[in-house]
């Protein structure tokens, strides 16, 4: 029997300096829904904005492999791998602040199993099965507060091509 296990973690807590133009006076609206959105935009008498925003990454990877020889004629085995990551995306964030409102979450579980049967020294049969099940989520934390806010690469929002 052979067993192999591996785990890796990758943590990056870096940030990026964001600069830009902002209104010199706070923006206002009579519509309460619009006013909630305008309240997210900072104002500065110099009309300039400079701030730090998270640009981090957290990744986890795990691997397991098992090979088992039941007899001289039968072998069994399997592999499992899992990757999960979360990435802050300040370039697509729609507001100012230290934490980006847009994140990308990715996971990719994978498994593979096999059975090998050798009825004679010159004949071998093998059965293999497996799957890779990746998923990606472009999340915008403002959507729960404002249903009309979306990012262009959001799979939940349908875009009509020209």
Identify the bridge partners of residue 62 per DSSP, sorted by sequence position: 7, 82
pLDDT at 74: 94
- Asked if 124 and 108 count as a contact pair (C-beta separation under 8 A), the reply is no
pTM over 0.75: no
Tokens linked to 122: 């010159």
Tokens linked to 32: 């309460």
Indicate the domain borders of the chain: 2-16+53-140
- Asked if 102 and 138 count as a contact pair (C-beta separation under 8 A), the reply is yes
pLDDT band at 150 (very low <50, low <70, confident <90, very high): low
Reported as a single tens digit per residue, the pLDDT across 109-134 is 999 999 999 999 899 999 999 999 99
pLDDT at 161: 47
Q: CA-to-CA distance for 48 and 22, rounded, in angstroms? A: 6
Which ranges in 5-56 belong to alpha helices (H)?
A: 32-38
């Amino acid at each position: 029997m052979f067993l192999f296990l591996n785990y890796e973690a990758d943590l990056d807590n870096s940030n990026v300096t964001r600069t830009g133009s902002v209104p010199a006076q706070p923006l206002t609206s009579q519509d309460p829904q619009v006013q909630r959105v305008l309240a997210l935009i900072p104002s500065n008498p110099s009309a300039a904005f400079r701030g730090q925003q998270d640009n981090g990454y957290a990744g986890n990877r795990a691997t397991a492999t098992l090979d088992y020889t039941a007899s001289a004629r039968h072998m069994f085995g399997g592999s499992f791998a899992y990757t999960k990551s979360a990435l802050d995306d300040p370039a697509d964030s729609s507001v100012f602040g230290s934490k980006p409102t847009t994140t990308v979450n990715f996971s990719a579980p994978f498994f593979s199993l096999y059975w090998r049967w050798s009825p004679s020294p010159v004949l071998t049969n093998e059965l293999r099965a497996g799957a890779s099940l990746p998923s990606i989520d472009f999340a915008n934390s403002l959507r729960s507060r404002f249903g009309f806010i979306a990012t262009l690469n959001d799979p939940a929002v349908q875009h009509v091509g020209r």
